[in-house]
Amino acid sequence: MNNQVPSMLKPALIAGLAFGIAGAIPIIEFINCACCALIIACGFTAAYLYSKDMKSADLGFTAGNGAVVGLASGVIYGVVSGIVGTIIDSVFGLTDVDQIIEQMEQVGTMDPEAMEMVTRFMESTGPATFAVAGIFFSILFGAVFGTVGGLIGGAVFKSVPPQTTVTGDQPWTGGDQPPPPNNPPPPPVQPGT
């Protein structure tokens, strides 16, 4: 039996990187419109991978374990999807401030004074501010919804550690059979009473 607690870094990195890259791809990222489904799936997958590691170490896995590994994978998701998404947007010109302002003006439902304020703000801050804000919100949403996915995974993959019964000084190794009764000896009989 190996009762050393396995590291949750590996499952968090695997899930966070895989789902973070998927969440940065322009068409696939729309899956997150359905209640942040990619981020929840990231935490759920990390919980599944970590539960397998805990089971192989003969340790139990709880919803709390799932929440922690889900949180870690969600933060990794947020960092990866934020950075990769910013790179993809800048390479393909998807964050051009002038195009965003032009699209907002075409909609025409905003008050002209408010539109002027938004336009001045967007032109003064530039794309770097949008990139930093995007990464921040990506990490925030990743942490929250990754934890939710980890909690769900922890509830689904919950397990208890196998119990060892001790008889004397040796652990019971009888497999599925119960250990023999360990009854105390009867009290001595007093002669002549």
pLDDT of residue 161: 79
The tokens 């929840």 sit on which residue? 40
User: What span, in angstroms and rounded, lies between the C-alpha atoms of 78 and 144?
Assistant: 10
Q: Is the pTM of this model over 0.75?
A: no
Indicate the burial class of 111 (C-beta count within 10 angstroms; 0-12, 13-18, 19 or more).
Answer: exposed
Report CA-CA distances (Å) from 57 to 121, 126, 142, 161, 175: 55, 51, 28, 9, 17
Whether residue 58 contacts residue 2, with contact meaning beta carbons closer than 8 Å, is answered with: yes
CA distance 78 to 20: 7
Mean pLDDT, all residues of the chain: 83
Instruction: Note the pLDDT of residue 165.
Output: 57
The torsion angles phi and psi of 175, rounded to 5 degrees, stand at 70, -130
Q: What is residue 4's predicted lDDT score, i.e. its pLDDT?
A: 85
Residue-wise pLDDT for 56-112, tens only, equals 988 999 999 999 999 999 999 999 999 998 888 778 766 555 666 666 667 766 677
